[in-house]
Chain A
Amino acid sequence: MNAPVRRLSIVVAILFASLLVSTTLIQYVFAADLNARPDNRRTLLSTYARERGSILVGQTSVASSVPVDDQFKFQREYSNGELYAHVTGSYSFYGASGGLEQAENAYLSGSSDKLFYRRVSDLFTGRRPQGATLETTLDPAVQRAAVKAMTGIRGAAVALDPKTGAILAMVSQPTFDPNDLAGHDLTALDENYDKLNTDPQRPLVNRTINGDLYPPGSIFKVITAAAALSSGEYTEDSVLPGPAVLNLPGTTASLPNMFDGACGANDKVSFTRAMAISCNTAFAAVGMDIGADALRAQAEKFGFGDSLSVPMRVTPSTIPAELNMPQLAQSSIGQFDVRVTPLQMAMVAAGVANDGTVMKPYLVQSVIGSDLSVIDTTDPQELSQAVTPDVAAQLTRMMEAVVSDGSGTRAQIDGVAVAGKSGTAQHGEGRKPHAWFISFAPADDPQIAVAVIAEDGGVTGSEIGGGRVAAPIARQMMEARLK
């Protein structure tokens, strides 16, 4: 009977071999798929059990994980929650949502490949793995100034360091408290989320980079002027036609100024003056003269159409691919289908401020490991050379005129030369226009570039809406930086 017993042992070997295969399939081959299943509580719990990295503004932590005595082990806390809500996003039982929490989840949770060797050493030293800490580029003074100035206003404000592209402030109003979305009480969490998500004011949307795109209105004239000056056919002193109303070729439609009357004597106006008083007819004429391609190319040099991540994804600003003459005339003054994010317009101001070089915007200055070693730092990167330094200098002088003696006088700061441009963007019949302001200061050595939008904050039929409502906000942000 020994022969069948030997054969039986082969059967046993086959049985166990099949178990080795099945366990290998589960624990090695398909493990990643199983771990990635949305209904896998272990994955979530293990990321909770790991101490998530903090998010720093200056030296202050605005998002941190504090130990708690429940199964999740750590609770995410946001000091100054509402102030930095759109920068931090939130982190809950459901995972990271919005802001840096989501965009830099790999670093914060400690699962990034760049932390691999640290994880290996954690494994051998028995140290509990920790996520990395993010140091942001935000200037808390600028951020606070923006939020304070925007009290009661729906809209957005972004400030950049024009020389590096570092984001100094990122404010979207109305805001929310991320602590409401980080609790461990599921019912409360669901309720809070539903409330915020169904709020018609849409507090969860980060209007600076990925809300609905806005029409830019007259602040787009900076781009039109840049294209015109770059063409070599115009200078800051060129004399332009500036009638009260411009007839658009090929249609019966006409394009008026936002104020009554012509831009200058004999329907003539200098380029600088046209910028200062935001003369629609002059800019429409310039736009039609240089052509749609030149205008679009100039906009793209400032970053239109680019897919940026700061590291949150930024919705690309758009300018239509096909423009007939009347549409070109309207586009030249920021109407028709031109759509922008506040960040994009801050990049325009920053590009002009930085001798025509647009820097790539970024929000994370450095990534710091749990042992305080620097894992990654952001080196400023050039995005494009939008205009020549000479054109940039001319644009700067034109924008200074806006603030010193034009539609943006409310952005003036004592003892500092400020360059700016106001805008009032219509966005539908019977609705109040959006009030815009972009600016930078000091004009001769720019430290900060700003874009501000106050939704429905303008005054219908008036060009000074942007100057009246948005310029003071920009001014307070610039003052906070320069102080």
Chain B
Amino acid sequence: MSVVSSYTPRRGRNVELVLLIGAVAIVLLAYVNVGLATSETIPPGTMALAGGYLAMAVGFHLVLRWRASYADPLMLPIITLLNGLGLVMIHRIDLANGTSISDGVALRQLMWTGVAVVIAAAVLVVLRDHRVLRRYTYLAGVVGFVLLLLPLMPVIGTSIYGARIWIRIGSMSFQPGEIAKIALAVFFAGYLVQTRDALSVAGRKVLGLTLPRARDLGPILIAWLASLAVLVFERDLGSSLLFFGLFVAMLYVATERVSWIAIGLTLFAAGAYVAYLIFGHVQTRVLLWLDTFSPEALQASDQLAKGLMGMAAGGMFGTGLGRGRPDLTYFAESDFIIPSFGEEIGLVGLFALLMLYVLLVQRGLRTSLGTRDGFGKLLAAGLSFSLALQCFVVVGGVTRVIPLTGLTMPFLSSGGSSLLANWTLVAILLRISDHARRPMPEVNLAHEVGQAHTEVVRMP
């Protein structure tokens, strides 16, 4: 009898396929639901659209079977569902705004979804091993910071509705911060894997916290200054919080030292407070956050107030898709897509949506735990945490947990750069998870151990 049986990890590709079909079915039902609610007919071409969307998802699934057969089977169905529901909501808001399917935002979003899926699949095909990325640590760092600060450049940087987070080249506009998120996660992971020993060991102990040496503070100060620059000059509290939060979280994971979190939070709080004292636009944001319905706040902007009233109108169970008035809110299909969902699918539906994100982030963190190399571990944790933080910043912004910012909800909000970046982000996570779940190179323990006979020894 062999005591060690050879264990084959479940790939889960078939589970993934079944879940994918389920996800597309939900999207299809939502789409038909909108059609019935708004015009009492099933929209023409429904099956073609559903088929196209299914083909896109299954195509990606096949790429996974081919190039990453051990990848986590939950991630693709989750983002397929989120992306599809986002499309349905954007289409629904198009209808409310009176734009047809051919010139609406939804078609552009669908097109971008296609591009994002293709690029993400290409990443999986080209990037055979995530550890390759480590070679480009500093390049990624430079690219990340440049992208982050690019909107500050004259000519190409554009300020839209007060936030300077866009670049415009010709007729194309792009939010480089979305891509910067991935580049910076790669940079932080590579850099911290190298320096974690120095950062985690050396230092003096003060009040129970082991403080780092002054010269090790350099990187966190640079990251802090960069995030403050984003806050102050791009007027974008969301991105600022996202990048600095990402950095501190990865620093903590790399070093296991709570002192980094304490230092990080202190720095951020101090920077944000000084910015509040100095800059009018930060003060306005804070006023809108703390006292949304005061006359002064409504004077400045009633978009948050309108979003809140939309969510309240939805209540527990929502008005039903197509039956609310999400179009009464500004940016209903982008920054305020969460209130749009809240209004039409209610608190219950919103909980379900948030749980999808929790599940996605949890699978990412699980990937991090299972990854054997430090770089992959850090990268997976960083990317997952950045997703979580972005959800928190967006949903927290529209529900008054934190001041409102201009970030997009991953996969749901309309926006090409956001879709592209988040599909790619998940592609990298899938690549790491394939590595994490793939069985160890075959070491046949049975040969070494051999057959051991068991004897029952009778004790006198």
**Which residues of A line the B interface, CB within 8 A?**
1-6, 8-9, 11-13, 15-16, 18-20, 22-28, 30-35, 37, 39-43, 45-46
Q: Does B113 contact A (CB under 8 A)?
A: no
B interface majority secondary structure: helix
A3 touches B256 (CB 8 A): yes
If A1-B254, A4-B256, A15-B388 touch, does A42 touch B328 (CB 8 Å cutoff)? yes
Shortest CB-to-CB span from B290 to chain A, Å, is 14
Give every chain B residue within 8 A of A8 (Cβ-Cβ).
249, 252-253, 365, 381, 385
A19 touches B395 (CB 8 A): yes
Shortest CB-to-CB span from B436 to chain A, Å, is 12
A5 touches B358 (CB 8 A): no
Q: Can you name 18 A-B pairs with beta carbons within 8 Å?
A: A1-B377, A4-B256, A5-B368, A6-B369, A9-B365, A12-B365, A12-B385, A16-B358, A16-B392, A22-B399, A23-B350, A26-B312, A26-B399, A27-B311, A31-B312, A35-B312, A39-B305, A40-B309
Give every chain B residue within 8 A of A37 (Cβ-Cβ).
293, 309
A interface majority secondary structure: helix
B392 touches A46 (CB 8 A): no
**Residue of A with least CB distance to B378:** A1
Shortest CB-to-CB span from B242 to chain A, Å, is 12
B312 touches A12 (CB 8 A): no
Shortest CB-to-CB span from B365 to chain A, Å, is 5
Q: Does B362 contact A (CB under 8 A)?
A: yes
Q: Does B313 contact A (CB under 8 A)?
A: yes
A1 touches B374 (CB 8 A): yes
Give every chain B residue within 8 A of A12 (Cβ-Cβ).
358, 361-362, 365, 384-385, 388
Counting from the closest, the 6 A-B pairs by CB-CB distance are A34-B312, A22-B399, A27-B347, A31-B312, A15-B392, A4-B253
**Residue of B with least CB distance to A42:** B313
Give every chain B residue within 8 A of A42 (Cβ-Cβ).
309-310, 313, 324-325, 328
Give every chain B residue within 8 A of A24 (Cβ-Cβ).
347
Q: Does B332 contact A (CB under 8 A)?
A: no
Encode contact with A along B361-399: 1 for CB under 8 Å, 0 otherwise: 110010011000010011001001100110110011001
Task: Pick from B256, B314, B401: contact of A1, CB below 8 A.
Answer: B256
Compute how far the CA of A22 lies from the CA of B391 in the bound complex, rounded to whole angstroms: 13
Give every chain A residue within 8 A of B324 (Cβ-Cβ).
42
Shortest CB-to-CB span from B69 to chain A, Å, is 25
Compute how far the CA of A43 lies from the CA of B309 in the bound complex, rounded to whole angstroms: 9
Compute how far the CA of A5 lies from the CA of B358 in the bound complex, rounded to whole angstroms: 15
B311 touches A23 (CB 8 A): yes
Number of residues in B with C-beta < 8 Å to the partner? 48
Give every chain A residue within 8 A of B350 (Cβ-Cβ).
23, 27
Give every chain B residue within 8 A of A22 (Cβ-Cβ).
395-396, 399-401
Shortest CB-to-CB span from A347 to chain B, Å, is 44
Q: Given A1-B381, A8-B249, A19-B354, list of 7 further CB < 8 A pairs?
A: A4-B256, A15-B389, A18-B392, A19-B391, A23-B342, A28-B315, A43-B313
Shortest CB-to-CB span from B374 to chain A, Å, is 6
B256 touches A19 (CB 8 A): no
Compute how far the CA of A28 lies from the CA of B397 in the bound complex, rounded to whole angstroms: 18
B253 touches A16 (CB 8 A): no
B312 touches A30 (CB 8 A): yes
**Residue of B with least CB distance to A25:** B399
Shortest CB-to-CB span from A389 to chain B, Å, is 56
If A8-B252, A12-B385 touch, does A35 touch B309 (CB 8 Å cutoff)? yes
B389 touches A20 (CB 8 A): no
Give every chain B residue within 8 A of A3 (Cβ-Cβ).
256
Give every chain B residue within 8 A of A5 (Cβ-Cβ).
253, 365, 368-369, 377, 381
Shortest CB-to-CB span from B401 to chain A, Å, is 5
Encode contact with A along B283-310: 1 for CB under 8 Å, 0 otherwise: 0000000000100000000000100111
**Residue of B with least CB distance to A7:** B252
Compute how far the CA of A11 lies from the CA of B311 in the bound complex, rounded to whole angstroms: 26
**Residue of A with least CB distance to B342:** A27
Shortest CB-to-CB span from A41 to chain B, Å, is 6
Q: Does B351 contact A (CB under 8 A)?
A: yes
Most B-side CB within 10 Å, residue of A8, A28, A33:
A8
Compute how far the CA of A31 lies from the CA of B344 in the bound complex, rounded to whole angstroms: 14
**Residue of A with least CB distance to B305:** A39
Shortest CB-to-CB span from B174 to chain A, Å, is 28
Encode contact with A along B237-255: 1 for CB under 8 Å, 0 otherwise: 0000000000001001110
